[in-house]
């Protein structure tokens, strides 16, 4: 499941403005485009306002739906942009945020499971098990504990706790219907906050049976108009 979530996150485009949105909001002429504005540290690029009130990106000339941001690493605008993840080599946004969160969660679980499998190495070194108990736990194997086994336990536990904190952070972000970029806005409440239950359903789907699968929920895809619209109150559901 870790590999499946990783591939889903890495190979899924975060989503850009759909064709129907671009057709309904054509980019006005006269935009001073910044060619080649991609890469680290390019800074914020102020979008321009079209005649119909729609924002348009000054760099890629694309209409920008609400919560759409320009990613300076890929040079494209991403729906509900969260961040660029160098570990998966892809931008995290509307279409791959769910598999990304699941990838973090499953990787943390795998790290703790690896530490559990190597627990006897730690028990032996700490004196909680004798060498005979250690061999008995391994089924009489002649395997001798070494530095590699102890390092595996320490690294797995450290990795698991770090990812657990990262997972808790993103679950908080999802439950408040915000993103990493939006959360950096000075602690202001998200205007899209529908309550923890509705917020999580918008990310993981309304059917809890599919919450642990790295698939985008059809109901959320329809309700958000392919990522171009986000409700601002439960009453508008």
User: Is-catalytic flag, 85?
Assistant: yes
Asked if 7 and 118 sit in the same domain, the reply is yes
Alpha carbons within 13 A on the beta-carbon side of 3:
0
Q: Provide the residue range defining the domain that includes 56.
A: 17-78
4-41, pLDDT tens digit by residue? 999 999 999 999 988 889 888 887 765 554 444 443 33
Q: Are residues 127 and 196 in the same domain?
A: yes
- Tell me, yes or no, whether 130 lies in a domain: yes
Shared domain check, 109 and 215: yes
Residue among 5, 85, 117, 118 flagged as catalytic? 85
Residues 34 and 107 in one domain: no
- Judged by DSSP in three states, 109 sits in helix
Does 72 share its domain with 178? no
Across 144-148, 161-165, 174-178, least confident range: 144-148
Residues 49 and 165 reside in one and the same domain: no
Q: Could you read off the pLDDT of 202-222 as tens digits, one per residue?
A: 899 888 888 999 887 666 666
Dist. CA 105–CA 112, nearest whole Å? 11
Is 197 in the same domain as 138?
A: yes
Do 111 and 167 fall into the same domain?
yes
Summarize the confidence of residues 63-82 as an average pLDDT. 91
């Amino acid at each position: 499941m870790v590999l499946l979530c990783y591939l889903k996150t890495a190979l899924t485009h975060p989503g850009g403005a759909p064709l129907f949105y671009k057709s309904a909001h054509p980019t006005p002429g006269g935009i001073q485009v910044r060619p080649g504005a991609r890469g680290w540290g390019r800074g914020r690029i102020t979008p321009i306002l079209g005649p119909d009130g729609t924002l348009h990106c000054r760099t890629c000339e694309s209409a920008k739906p609400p919560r759409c941001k320009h990613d300076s690493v890929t040079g494209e605008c991403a729906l509900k942009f969260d961040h660029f993840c160098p570990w998966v080599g892809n931008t995290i946004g509307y279409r791959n945020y769910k598999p990304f969160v699941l990838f973090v969660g499953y990787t943390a679980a795998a790290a703790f499971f690896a530490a559990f499998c190597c627990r006897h190495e730690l028990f032996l070194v700490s004196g909680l098990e004798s060498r005979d108990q250690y061999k008995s736990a391994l089924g009489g194997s002649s395997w001798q504990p070494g530095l590699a086994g102890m390092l595996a336990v320490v690294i797995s536990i450290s990795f698991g706790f770090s990812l657990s904190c990262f997972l808790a952070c993103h679950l908080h972000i999802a439950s408040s219907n915000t993103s990493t970029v939006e959360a950096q806005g000075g602690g202001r409440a998200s205007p899209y906050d529908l309550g923890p239950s509705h917020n999580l359903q918008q990310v993981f789907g309304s059917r809890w049976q599919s919450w642990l699968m790295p698939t985008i929920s059809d109901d959320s895809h329809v309700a958000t108009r392919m990522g171009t619209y986000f409700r601002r109150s439960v009453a508008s559901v």
